[in-house]
Chain A
Amino acid sequence: MYQSIMVPVDLAHLDALEKPLTVAADMARHYNAQLCYVGVTTSQPSSVARTPEEYEQKLKAFAQEHAPDNGQAPTARVYNSHDPVTDLDDILIKAIVDVGADLVVMGTHLPHHIDAIMPANGSKVAAHSNVSVFLVRP
Chain B
Amino acid sequence: MDNKPDNPPDTQSESVGVPAPEGAANLIDTDYKIGQDNYQASPMGVNIDIHGAVFVFSSLIVLAFVILALALPEQATDWFGAAKDWINSNMTWFILLSANIFVVLCLVLIVTPLGKVRIGGASATPDFSYLGWFSMLFAAGMGIGLMFYGVAEPLTHYGTSLGGTSMGENGMRTDWAPLGAAADNPAAAYSLSMAATIFHWGLHPWAIYAIVALSLAIFSYNKGLPLTVRSMFYPILGERIWGWPGHVIDILAVFATLFGLATSLGIGAQQASAGLTHLFGIPGGNTTLVLLIAAITAVAIVSIVAGVDKGVKRLSEANMVLAFLLLMFVIFVGPTLLIATGFFKNLGSYFTELPFLSNPFARDDANFSQGWTTFYWAWWISWSPFVGMFIARISRGRSVREFLTAVLLVPSTISVLWMTAFGTTAINQLQEEGFEGAKNADLPVQLFEVLGQLPLAEITSFIGIVLVIVFFVTSSDSGSLVIDTITAGGKIDAPKPQRVFWGVIEGAIAIALLVGGGLAALQSAAVAAGLPFTLVLLVGCYAIVKGLMSEPRGK
Contacts and interface: CB of A to CB of B under 8 A. Distances in A.
Contacts of A48: 1
Interface size class of B (residues with CB under 8 A): 35 or more
B496 A54 contact: no
B277 to A, nearest CB: 34
Interface in B9-36: 9-11, 15-18, 21-23, 25, 27, 33-36
Contact of A53 (B21, B34, B226, B494): B21
Nearest to B15: A57
Contact of B45 (A44, A45, A65, A114): A114
Contacts of A12: 35, 493
A2 to B, nearest CB: 25
Interface string B441-473: 000000000000000000000000000000000
A97 interface: no
B492 interface: yes
A85 interface: yes
Contacts of A86: 305-311, 496
B225 interface: yes
Contact of A42 (B35, B225, B492): B492
A58 B9 contact: yes
B221 interface: yes
Given A14-B1, A61-B7, A82 B394 contact: yes
Interface string A37-62: 00000111111101111101110111
B7 A44 contact: no
Q: Is chain B's interface secondary structure helix, strand, loop, or mixed overall?
A: loop
Interface string B32-62: 0111100000000110000000000000000
20 contacts: A43-B120, A44-B227, A45-B221, A45-B226, A46-B34, A47-B34, A48-B1, A50-B11, A50-B23, A54-B11, A56-B15, A56-B18, A65-B4, A82-B128, A84-B492, A84-B493, A85-B307, A85-B493, A86-B308, A118-B497
- The 5 closest A-B CB pairs, nearest first, are A86-B307, A50-B224, A47-B35, A112-B45, A83-B308
Interface of A: 11-12, 14, 42-48, 50-54, 56-58, 60-62, 65, 80, 82-87, 112-114, 117-118
Given A46-B492, A47-B35, A86-B310, 9 more contacts: A44-B221, A44-B226, A47-B491, A54-B15, A56-B15, A60-B15, A86-B305, A87-B309, A114-B497
Interface of B: 1, 4, 6-7, 9-11, 15-18, 21-23, 25, 27, 33-36, 45-46, 120-121, 127-128, 220-221, 224-227, 305-311, 393-394, 396, 490-497
